[in-house]
Amino acid sequence: MVLQMQGFIMKNKIRYYRHINNEMTQQQLAQKVNVARQTIIAIEKGSFNPSVKLALKIAHVFQIKVDDLFELDEDELPETKEDAS
């Protein structure tokens, strides 16, 4: 799923990791990270950007790094001063 974050595109693989982890439901994941199921739904749909703390909790459930779960689309990253030189 794709998330808009201050003009950046952020992709997440929560649904993928739920399914490869014994078909974990959104409700089960929500309970493990202590949020409402609607929060997990919103993150998967790309309509909610999780806090760093929540992103870390979700990654911990799947025993992966946050950057394996969420990634910025590199084509959408702004140029830095070093890139422009």
Tell me the residue type at 11.
K
Q: What topology is assigned to 2-80 in CATH?
A: 434 Repressor (Amino-terminal Domain) (1.10.260)
What pLDDT does residue 46 have? 83
What pLDDT does residue 78 have? 59
Spatial distance between the Cα atoms of 59 and 69, rounded to a whole number of angstroms: 7
pLDDT digits (tens, 9 = 90+) for 16-35: 999 999 999 999 999 999 99
What pLDDT does residue 81 have? 60
Is residue 41 left, alpha or beta, with left meaning phi > 0 and alpha meaning psi from -120 to 50?
alpha
- Taking 70 as the pLDDT cut, the residues of the chain under it are 1-9, 73-85
What pLDDT does residue 49 have? 84
Q: Name the DSSP class of 75.
A: G
Dihedral in degrees, nearest 10, Cα atoms 7, 11, 12, 15: 120
